Amino acid sequence: MRIGYLGPAGTFSEQAMQESLDLAGLEGESEIVPLTTVHDVVSAVQGGLVDRAIAPIENSVEGGVNEVIDALVHDAPDVSIIAEYVLEISPCLIAREGTKLSDVTTVYSHPQPLAQCASFLRRELPDAELQPSNSTAAAVEQVLASDQPLAALASPAAANQSGAVVLAESVADHELLATRFIWLARESGETQREGQSGKSAIIFSGAGDGSPGWLLDCLGEFASRSINLTRIESRPARLELGQYIFLIDIDGRVDLPGPAADALAGLAVHCQQVRVLGSYPI
């Protein structure tokens, strides 16, 4: 079994992977495959490079991870969500040994931590340049490869593994910071027994999205059956300006008989495209 994640070693994705292997049904030895971008993570599952992969899809501060969402919607028609895992994260400011906070000229990190720590950076490093990296661990590598006074936003594990030092701990702007990760595979998850709790991710779109009340009619299929929507988001359909694809997460399994499956059938009446990204236990 080959498992993909956003590398290199020391990323929050690696931490989430190690803590949740059982959710993806992984037992015994597996080959761990670090990948360069989150789009690469999704594409590796679609292309068969890996059998399972974990990717961040939502953050409690910055919302959806658009690169992952768009990869699932547009570039990975055969990939399914089979599980999810929520990881509490605490970014730190990391640098080469001997670097002082006041000397830092540039801060590297993945775009999500740069946004999550924006107030700290404005307050403590107002003149520092902010540079996006493919991952937090890659940012640490960039910092250590230079003799300039650079810093990275990354996990404490990244500092421990690389020999860097922590200049400031827990620098996120919000005390509670969490990222929701999804496990991906080319097959759907195993059907669970009736009565167990579950969740489904669905995308839908249609020509009626320009008509008054169309979205209300779509969502009404769930509301009328007392099905809770835990998340809704829209992304460009990449067809023409003003056309969108909607992504929703609901409480309930649409792959089992019941109200959720009935709502999915009702949704199809209003739409040109309905696709289940995943239906899995929680």
Q: Where in the sequence is the domain holding 218, given as residue range(s)?
A: 198-281
CA distance 84 to 223: 24
Same domain, yes or no: 116 and 134: yes
Same domain, yes or no: 113 and 161: yes
CATH number at residue 131: 3.40.190.10
In a domain, 122, yes or no: yes
Rounded to the nearest 5 degrees, what angle is found at the Cα of 174, between the Cα atoms of 201 and 123?
135
In a domain, 153, yes or no: yes
35, containing H or E segment: strand 31-35
In a domain, 103, yes or no: yes
Q: Do 155 and 12 meet the contact criterion of CB atoms below 8 Å apart? A: yes
Give the pLDDT band (50/70/90) at residue 188: low
Is the pLDDT confidence value at 260 over 60? yes
Closest by CA to 99, choosing from 159, 20, 50, is 159
Give the CB-side neighbour count of residue 154, counting CA atoms within 13 A.
Answer: 36
Beta bridge partners of 83: 183
Same domain, yes or no: 57 and 120: no
> What's the rounded mean pLDDT across residues 45-55?
96
CA distance 85 to 26: 14
pTM of the model as a whole: 0.87
Burial class (CB in 10 A: 0-12, 13-18, 19+), 129: exposed
Name the domain count of the chain: 3
CATH number at residue 233: 3.30.70.260
pLDDT at 261 (0 to 100): 95
> What's the rounded mean pLDDT across residues 173-198?
76
Domain boundary at 159, 185, 211, which?
185
Same domain, yes or no: 77 and 138: no
Same domain, yes or no: 76 and 124: no
Same domain, yes or no: 27 and 82: yes
Is the pLDDT confidence value at 232 over 50? yes
In a domain, 242, yes or no: yes
pLDDT digits (tens, 9 = 90+) for 191-221: 444 445 799 999 999 866 677 899 999 999 9
Same domain, yes or no: 103 and 64: no
Same domain, yes or no: 19 and 32: yes
pLDDT at 60 (0 to 100): 87
Helix (H, G, I), strand (E, B), or coil: what is residue 134? coil
pLDDT at 30 (0 to 100): 87
pLDDT at 180 (0 to 100): 95
Helix (H, G, I), strand (E, B), or coil: what is residue 6? strand
Same domain, yes or no: 96 and 85: no
In a domain, 192, yes or no: no
Closest by CA to 83, choosing from 60, 58, 37, 52, is 52
Burial class (CB in 10 A: 0-12, 13-18, 19+), 31: exposed
Domain boundary at 185, 216, 232, which?
185
Give the pLDDT band (50/70/90) at residue 225: very high
CA distance 154 to 91: 5
Same domain, yes or no: 128 and 52: no
CA distance 264 to 282: 19
Same domain, yes or no: 203 and 257: yes
Beta bridge partners of 245: 235
Domain boundary at 160, 185, 210, which?
185
Same domain, yes or no: 99 and 35: no
Beta bridge partners of 161: none
pLDDT digits (tens, 9 = 90+) for 19-44: 999 888 776 788 999 999 999 999 99
Q: Two tokens at 211?
A: 């008509």
> What's the rounded mean pLDDT across residues 123-138?
94
Share of the chain above pLDDT 70, in %: 95
In a domain, 248, yes or no: yes
CA distance 106 to 95: 11
In a domain, 271, yes or no: yes
In a domain, 272, yes or no: yes
